[in-house]
Structure 1
């Protein structure tokens, strides 16, 4: 099973999903804006990605610039910001066999298939 945390409004996320469909992956599609992640789920994803929480933040989003930019945030505060504002989560995220990748560029997803 391959899981994609997907935002249908995002062209990169749609491209990544297309690649997964072309590869005939057994997919679980999670529209994380409609079904927000829990703190534990997001923490697990961050661990699988092997990144710091700040590396998963979309820093060009207006909400980040208005509320968080320039502040010294702890990892817990960054995670809370993404939980409270799911738009801040970089996308798409693809998980397979306990490995995760951010699908940017979309072709990068092939690395974990």
Structure 2
């Protein structure tokens, strides 16, 4: 299944959200304050992780290397024997199996995809 961000309605946004993450909560607040009326679909990615193909599409849309979308300081990163030299496929597999490794929050609009760190990065896709 594809995220199809290019076909999103301009009044819609998708946020891959972790409710325990202050940056993720800040992204939702930023959208509420700076994009009033925009419908925000919240995906609790720890409960419903994206597939490997979906992650690849998100990362490709951001125009960043896969390693830039990985939370390398999470304990799972080291426990899984991953490194900055791990292959893209290994990193994607790890993120699907251990979604805490996914950089967050990921915000998707019709204009593109960003990891909202800093939160103001969302402005680029509004």
Instruction: State TM-score, norm by structure 2.
Output: 0.84
1:11 aligns with 2:49: no
- Matched ranges for 1:87-102 at <5 A: 87-102=100-115
* Structure 1 unaligned spans of 5+: none
Q: Once superposed, what is the RMSD of the aligned Cα atoms?
A: 1.4
Number of residue pairs aligned between Structure 1 and Structure 2: 113
Q: Which residue of 1 aligns with 2:41?
A: 28
Partner Cα separation in structure 2 for residue 70 and residue 52 of structure 1:
14
Paired residue for 1:78, among 91, 98, 115?
Answer: 91
* Higher alpha-carbon deviation: 64-73 or 41-50: 64-73
Q: Which residue of 2 aligns with 1:38?
A: 51
Offset at residue 107 of structure 1 (A): 1.8
